[in-house]
Chain A
Amino acid sequence: DAKTTQPTSMDCAEGRAANLPCNHSTISGNEYVYWYRQIHSQGPQYIIHGLKNNETNEMASLIITEDRKSSTLILPHATLRDTAVYYCIVRVVTGANSKLTFGKGITLSVRP
């Protein structure tokens, strides 16, 4: 079972920042927070992941609260191509049998 909760959907204007929230109140100390997205008719695409510290890469920023019970994915300048389903996932750090378990995700719609 997915261990995260996300809103069903949200929208934002093109060029503005999109802030996607995720609740993972039961996260363990040995679990990462991962974000993937899935554009229509494609497989999921990795965005970013983090353990405790905030992370930034060329696609997005991940802000994890100090207690690690929630996080926010930030797309700094959303474009129409960012319209997709975004999945927030917690994943055990160690071991080869480390599942990536998807929930329903949040549908982000970027409007012109």
Chain B
Amino acid sequence: EAGVAQSPRYKIIEKRQSVAFWCNPISGHATLYWYQQILGQGPKLLIQFQNNGVVDDSQLPKDRFSAERLKGVDSTLKIQPAKLEDSAVYLCASSFTGTGGEKLFFGSGTQLSVL
């Protein structure tokens, strides 16, 4: 079965610019997650969707980050304006229902460098 697809693989921007990342989860997976992974640290959950509704966005910096999953399938994560500290790998993951006994499947991530 196809895995979680993310694009682009790499992105380099200057501070104060905008950037967007795209994720296509595994077909049939209702739950979609965006994680941020700073070098040397474990992934940190930014936002969790259940279908097209937000379940948890408590760690999303809402002044500059936004995410949507309009049709309950694909999702985009946007940063506007970017700061130097946003340099990280942005990982998308999906699972069937989001309950505690399930596996999460991760994409390969988008590596963002903010100069």
A residues neighboring B (CB under 8 Å): 2, 30-32, 36, 41-46, 49, 85, 87, 91-105
Q: Closest Cβ of chain A: how far from B106's Cβ, in Å?
A: 3
The contact of B104 among A85, A96, A100, by CB within 8 Å, is A100
Q: Once the chains are docked, how many angstroms separate the CA of A3 from the CA of B75?
A: 29
> Chain B 1-37 against A: per-residue CB contact (8 Å), 1 yes, 0 no?
0001000000000000000000000000001010100
Are B42 and A43 touching (Cβ within 8 A)? Answer: no
Are A43 and B91 touching (Cβ within 8 A)? Answer: yes
With A44-B91, A102-B42, A104-B42 as given contacts, are A94 and B108 in contact (CB-CB < 8 Å)?
A: no
Q: Which residues of chain B come closer than 8 Å to A45, judged between CB atoms? A: 106
Are B41 and A104 touching (Cβ within 8 A)? Answer: yes
User: Which stretch from B43-51, B63-71, B78-86 is at the chain A interface?
Assistant: B43-51
With A94-B99, A95-B100, A102-B42 as given contacts, are A43 and B109 in contact (CB-CB < 8 Å)?
A: yes
The contact of B45 among A42, A46, A85, A99, by CB within 8 Å, is A99
